[in-house]
C-alpha cells in the first residue's frame, strides 16, 4: 500500500514516520523537503494535485496544516490555502486516481459554547480564521468524497509530542526558566499525544475504516492550567526539572489573544475508539510518555 504523507517534518509527521506499519510504502513530504522528504507546499493547490497524479497513492494522509492560530487572524488567505484549498485539491485529484484521503482536523471547528463533549456528527461552527480554514477543508472533503466514501476526517485536540513546538514542551521550558507561570484555567479540552494520534491515523488506513468523521484525543478532561501543573509535577518525577514553577490560574480575559479560542472543546471519542479498536490512554499518562521521550 502506498501512502502520501504531508507535514512529515512536523510533530505528528515525526510520530507517523516512527510508527510506520509494515507493508506501507511512504512518500513523506514537507514544505521544505530535505532529510529524505519530498518537497510539497500545501499552499500550492496545483502542486498538491500533481503529487497525487504523480505518485498515485492509495491514501493521502494530510497531517500538514497551518497551525498558527493567532497569526491566522492576520493571514487568513494563507491559512485557507493550506487548510482549506489543499484538502480540496487532494480530493479532486483522488477522484481521478481512486485513492482515499485521511484529513486530520481540529476541535477548533466548534465554537466551544455547548459545555458537553462534541460528537463527530455535530455541525461545525468555528470562531476564528484558523477554525474557519480547517472547517473549509472538512467541507471540501465531504462535498467531493462523501458520496464515494473516499474521505475520512479525524478531528483531534491540543496536540503535544516529544519534538517540535507545543504547549507541553513550552511549559517544560518555562518551568526551568521562571519561578511563576500564569496559565489560562477556563478553557477546557483534552491533550492528544502524537504517539496515540499516530496510532489512530495508521489504524484508519490499515483497517480501511469507512466512517466519514472520527474524533481522537487522549482520555479525560483538562484545562491548560491543569496541563501546566502536570508538566511541572511529572518533570520533577522524571528528573527533567530541579524545581517546578508555581503555576497561577488566570482567566481568558486576563490573557487576551488575537484569536478567540473555544472555552470548551472536549471531543466525544467513544464511538471512534470502538471503530478503531484502540483503548483510551489517560492524558496524564500520555503526557508522561511525551516527557520521557523528549530530547
- Concerning whether 130 is annotated as a catalytic residue, the answer is yes
Give Cβ neighbours of residue 135 (< 8 Å, ≥ 6 apart). 84, 109, 124, 126
Look at residue 278 and give its three-state secondary structure: coil
Q: Return the C-alpha cell found at 239.
A: 528528573
Q: Which residues pair with 156 in a beta bridge?
A: 106, 216
Residue 101: which of 54, 136, 55, 52 has the closest Cα? 52
Residue 192: which of 155, 225, 150, 226 has the closest Cα? 155
Could you tell me if 178 and 240 are in contact, meaning their C-beta atoms sit under 8 angstroms apart? Answer: no
Which residue out of 118, 130, 255, 264 is catalytically annotated? 130
**DSSP β-ladder status, 222-223 and 188-189:** antiparallel
Which active-site residues does the annotation give?
130
Amino acid at each position: 500500500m502506498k501512502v502520501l504523507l504531508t507535514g512529515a517534518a512536523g510533530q505528528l509527521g515525526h510520530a507517523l514516520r516512527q510508527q510506520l506499519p509494515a507493508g506501507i510504502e511512504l512518500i513523506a513530504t514537507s514544505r521544505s523537503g530535505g532529510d529524505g522528504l519530498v518537497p510539497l507546499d500545501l499552499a500550492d493547490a496545483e502542486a498538491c494535485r500533481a503529487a497525487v497524479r504523480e505518485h498515485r497513492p492509495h491514501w493521502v494522509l494530510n497531517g500538514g496544516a497551518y497551525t498558527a492560530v493567532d497569526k491566522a487572524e492576520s493571514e487568513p488567505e494563507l491559512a485557507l490555502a493550506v487548510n482549506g484549498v489543499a484538502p480540496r485539491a487532494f480530493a479532486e485529484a483522488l477522484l481521478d486516481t481512486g485513492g482515499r484521503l485521511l484529513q486530520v482536523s481540529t476541535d477548533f471547528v466548534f465554537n466551544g459554547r455547548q459545555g458537553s463533549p462534541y460528537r463527530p456528527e455535530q455541525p461545525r461552527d468555528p470562531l476564528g480564521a484558523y477554525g474557519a480554514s480547517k472547517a473549509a477543508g472538512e467541507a471540501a472533503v465531504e462535498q467531493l468524497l462523501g458520496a464515494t466514501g473516499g474521505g475520512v476526517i479525524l478531528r483531534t485536540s491540543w496536540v503535544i509530542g516529544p519534538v517540535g513546538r507545543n504547549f507541553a514542551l513550552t511549559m517544560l521550558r518555562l518551568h526551568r526558566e521562571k519561578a511563576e507561570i500564569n496559565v489560562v484555567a477556563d478553557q477546557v479540552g483534552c491533550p492528544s499525544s502524537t504517539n496515540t494520534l499516530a496510532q489512530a491515523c495508521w489504524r484508519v488506513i490499515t483497517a480501511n475504516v469507512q466512517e466519514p468523521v472520527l474524533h481522537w484525543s487522549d482520555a479525560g478532561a483538562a484545562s491548560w492550567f491543569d496541563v501546566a501543573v502536570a508538566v511541572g509535577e511529572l518533570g520533577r518525577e522524571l528528573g527533567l526539572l530541579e524545581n517546578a514553577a508555581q503555576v497561577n490560574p488566570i482567566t481568558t480575559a486576563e490573557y487576551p489573544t488575537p484569536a478567540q479560542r473555544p472555552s470548551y472543546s472536549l471531543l466525544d471519542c467513544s464511538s471512534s475508539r470502538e471503530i478503531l479498536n484502540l483503548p483510551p490512554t489517560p492524558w496524564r499518562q500520555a503526557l508522561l510518555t511525551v516527557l520521557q521521550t523528549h530530547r
